[in-house]
Structure 1
Amino acid sequence: MNSTIQTILNHRSIRKFRSEAISSEQLQTIIQAGLAASSSSMLQVVSIVRVTNLEKRKRLAQYAGNQAYVESAAEFLVFCIDYQRHISINPNVQADFTELTLIGAVDSGIMAQNCLLAAESMGLGGVYIGGLRNNAEQVDALLELPQGSAVLFGMCLGHPDQSPEIKPRLPAHVIVHENQYEPLNLDDIQHYDQTMQSYYANRSSNQKQSTWSQDVCSKLSGESRPHILPYLNSKGLTKR
């Protein structure tokens, strides 16, 4: 197993960081790794806002659901869909198709994962912050995002001050289908629930007794940020 694969398989979300800064050389490498990511039709529809202003960091931590590590991490990057540069080139660009929003979301995820893997390969750690979408309009205003650009998620980066256990994933045979979609075997989910229940009960922090099925069913049983569609519409996205 090579070092790249080992880095991927060793991924843990890091939410506690030492006060040590990330060097400018490290940050430049992380960003260049992100820029090297695949881009659909080479549209390059992602922008990153690096937030260094401490007051803005504090407010973003609050907007994200009082996640203190947004404020304390060495670096905080916000990934955005961005068609503003294309509209600036040609005002007749039609960026309001849902397909183009999907492209922006997919490309942002690919770019961000490149950034995180690059950071982890240097001994750094990080965590994604989807909670920014809890208050997308406030985040948007704080970062002064133009029309055609919309916030997706943030990323904390820094020197880890914790070493959490690796969280078990669903087994590959549940995720990977061959030639056609296969019906779910609930016995596989029951076994995975037992694995996750043991993991949750025995991990070094934030112990709990719930299963994966209970957690995801609770998450999916109610509204999920219903304000996001009107927010995207207000930015000239996902209108048709």
Structure 2
Amino acid sequence: MNDVISLLQSHRSIRKFKDQPLTDEQIRLIVGSAQSASTSSFVQAYSIIGIKEKEKKRKLAELVGNQSYVENNGHFFVFCADFHRHELIGKREGKDVLPSIESTEKFMVGIIDASLAAQNAAVAAESLGLGICYIGGIRNNLPEVKEILKTPEHVIPLFGMAVGYPDQDPDFKPRLPLEHVYHEEEYQQDKEVYERQLDEYDALVSSYYEERTEGKRKDRWTEQMALMLEKRVRMYMKEFVQKNKMDLH
């Protein structure tokens, strides 16, 4: 196993950081690495907003569900799907690009481009000895987040990333077995095999929680997922996205 694979397979979310800001050089290295990610048809349909101001971090921390590590970190990044620049390009070049950039396909391109860039950023940060935590709670209150970030039409904040010097050393959380995730030639649909793999993973996750909490938790992964997915959250998203002139058709 080489150093890159070792780094990738040892990823853990860090939710407590030392009170030490990232340097401008570290920020540039992380963002530059993000920009080196693959991008659909060279579209580069994303932007990254970095937050240094303590008060702005505090406001965002409240909006995402009072997650302290959104406020207390070395730097906070927000990854956005962005076709604002492409709208300007259309006007600059005298082309009608709006039907394209307001399509579901291009909305997906923006999400995928931003996600690829973010994962490059995460790996770059971890290679520098930093820790990261993705923040999906950015989407809890997007109208307020957009106001804080001053994002224009055709720009949707997707998720945040807290980055900093780790002040904790959490255990690695076990993932689904490779055989459950990786299919060859076609999607495998043997229900008995599928159920057995889930049972085995439930036992692994339950054991992980029991050991980590000294017996206070034993929840199974399927139990967690069912309870989470039963709750309807962020159901305003379609309307919000459409109002921001993304994913209209």
Give the aligned CA root-mean-square deviation in angstroms: 1.4
- Equivalent residue pairs, number: 240
Counterpart of 1:202? 211
| Runs of 5+ consecutive residues of structure 2 not aligned to the other structure | none
The code of the aligned residue for 2:15 comes to R
1:220 paired to 2:224: no
Partner SS, residue 90 of structure 1: helix
- Give, in whole Å, the separation in 2 of the partners of 1:26 and 1:205: 38
Runs of at least 4 residues of structure 1 off by over 6 A? none
Alignment of 1:47-196 (within 5 A): 47-91=47-91, 92-94=96-98, 95-183=101-189, 184=191, 185-196=194-205
Q: What residue identity is the alignment partner of 1:54?
A: K
* 1:55, distance to aligned residue in structure 2 (A): 1.4
Q: State the secondary structure of the residue aligned to 1:61.
A: helix
> d(CA) in 2 for partners of 1:18 and 1:148?
36
Contact 2:75 2:163 in 1 (8 A): yes
Aligned-partner residue type, residue 228 of structure 1: M
In 2, Cα distance between equivalents of 1:205 and 1:123:
29
1:196 Cα shift? 0.2
1:14-53 alignment to 2 at 5 Å? 14-53=14-53
TM-score by length of 1: 0.97
Percent of counterpart pairs with the same letter? 37
Q: CA deviation at 1:204?
A: 5.8
Task: Give the equivalent residue in structure 1 for 2:246.
Answer: 237
Q: Which moved more, 1:65-74 or 1:89-98?
A: 89-98
- Alpha-carbon offset, residue 209 of structure 1: 2.2
Structure 1, gaps ≥5 residues long: none
- Determine if contact 2:20/2:73 at 8 Å carries over to the other structure: no
Distance 2:41 2:80 in 1: 18
- 8 Å CA contact 1:76, 1:155 repeated in 2: yes
1:220 is paired with a residue whose SS is helix
Q: Check conservation: 1:164, 1:204, Cα contact below 8 A.
A: no
**1:52-75 Cα distance to aligned partner (Å, 9 max, x none):** 122111110000000011000110
Q: Which range is displaced more, 7-16 or 200-209? A: 200-209
1:222 Cα shift? Answer: 3.0
C-alpha distance in 2 between matches for 1:68 and 1:234? 30
Shift of 1:16: 0.3
- Is the contact made by 2:104 and 2:246 (CA closer than 8 Å) also made in structure 1? yes
For the residues of structure 2 that align with 1:10 and 1:72, how far apart are their CA atoms?
23
Match of 1:66, as an amino acid?
N
Per-residue CA deviation, residues 105-160 of structure 1 (Å, 9 max, x unaligned), is 11111100000100101110010000010101110111110011011000000000
